[in-house]
Amino acid sequence: MEVAAGAGELRNRDPGATQGPPPDKGARRPQVADAELDAMLDRRRLKRRLGWWRLAAVVAVLALLGAVGLKAVPFERQRITRLAVHGFIMEDSARDRALRRLADDGASKAVLVRINSPGGSVAGSEELYLGLRAVAERKPVVAVIGTVGASGGYIVALAADHILARETAITGSIGAILQTASVVGLLDKLGIAAETVKSRPLKGQPSPFETFDPAARAAVQTLIDDSYRWFTGLVEARRKLTPEQLQQVADGRIFSGRQARERRLIDGFGGEEEARRWLETERDLPRGLPIRDLEYGDTDAWLDRLGAAMATALFGKSLLRELLMLDGLLALWQPSLTVGAAAAER
């Protein structure tokens, strides 16, 4: 009777307790004391209570993180993003997309633009300038000019809130240029005549196979003048120059870093460490943030770079640069090509 009563009490106290298979009729039921059964049930109840409390604690922590922590960026993820602008500047859709993502990246607290470029196409320089200005609306941007940051390279620097350069760096070269070559005389010597059929006299001008018509030259000059006004307007607005100050720097000449500082084209001297110090003191960035490169690129861009590398290997760097300069309006400083063009004219 005592064993039966204990089993009944167990069923009443713990309805959810599992029951084993009914014992064989001939088997004897185990003799379990009421105290042991009570202790067993207490342990089960305690485990259930602890499980519920643990679940409640996890839910509370997740709710707290959702309310407070989602917008907060952990310090170890914060960084300064470095954008390297090297060589010939061209339009780049992958770079443009990367800059749009960078503007929305809360972990990137500032952008450091490292420039070592004589320029490139006017459109490519403008695209990069506008992309960086969009980023600068969300976070500070500082530019560092290394060996050279001239013409289109200086357009890129103008997008920054603060411009640094080495004292011996080359910058300036404010203006636009369109270069062409004429092979008419060479073809005449070879007895080759190039024929062109076109809708109007100015179509296809300038052309290496035709004499540069004065009317075509005048039309091209208006194009150059318009781009020049855009460039100088950018310099005047971004560097806050008076018309007199602008006139002194906008004649196309290049300047050393020291000369550029005197003419207010840059803000100071230095490199990445000086740029970091400016961000920390003037823009209140946390000290010691790591600097990480902006990674971008896609298959098409990779193929373009491969093609350029193959052309360089096959034809040489100088010819590749000349081929690039034969088409499109350029904001580029390249003295060796200017000398070569003058020699060709003679």
Q: Is the dihedral of CA 172, 175, 181, 182 positive or negative?
A: negative
Tokens at 41, concatenated: 């049930």
Report pLDDT digits (tens) over 236-270. 999 999 999 999 999 999 999 999 999 999 999 99
Q: Is pLDDT at 153 greater than 60 in this prediction?
A: yes
Q: Is pLDDT at 293 greater than 60 in this prediction?
A: yes
Query: Which helix (H) or strand (E) is 62 found in, with range?
Result: helix 34-64
Select the more confidently predicted residue: 139 or 63: 139
Q: Give pLDDT, residue 345.
A: 33
Tokens at 54, concatenated: 């643990």
Q: Give pLDDT, residue 193.
A: 83
For domain 75-180+213-345, which architecture applies? Alpha-Beta Complex (3.90)
Between CA 169 and CA 137 the distance in angstroms is 28
Q: Give pLDDT, residue 298.
A: 55
Of 41-45, 113-117, 222-226, 294-298, which one has max mean pLDDT? 113-117
Q: Give pLDDT, residue 24.
A: 52
Q: Is pLDDT at 308 greater than 90 in this prediction?
A: no
Q: What is the mean pLDDT of residues 21-27?
A: 51
Other residues' Cβ atoms within 10 Å of the Cβ of residue 206: 19
Mean pLDDT computed over every residue of the chain: 80
Quote the DSSP letter at residue 75. G
Q: Is pLDDT at 28 greater than 50 in this prediction?
A: no
Grade residue 114 by pLDDT with cuts at 50, 70 and 90: very high
* Alpha-carbon torsion, ordered 327, 331, 332, 338, to 10 deg: 70
Q: How far apart are the first and last CA of the chain?
A: 126
Q: 120 in helix, strand or coil?
A: strand
Are 154 and 123 in contact, with CB atoms under 8 Å apart?
no
Q: Give pLDDT, residue 201.
A: 82
Q: Give pLDDT, residue 313.
A: 52
The residues assigned a catalytic role are: 151, 203
Please report, for the chain, the start and end positions of each structural domain, with discontinuous segments joined by +: 75-180+213-345
Between CA 227 and CA 28 the distance in angstroms is 105
Of 91-100, 177-186, 312-321, which one has max mean pLDDT? 91-100
Q: What is the mean pLDDT of residues 142-171?
A: 98
Q: Is pLDDT at 336 greater than 70 in this prediction?
A: no
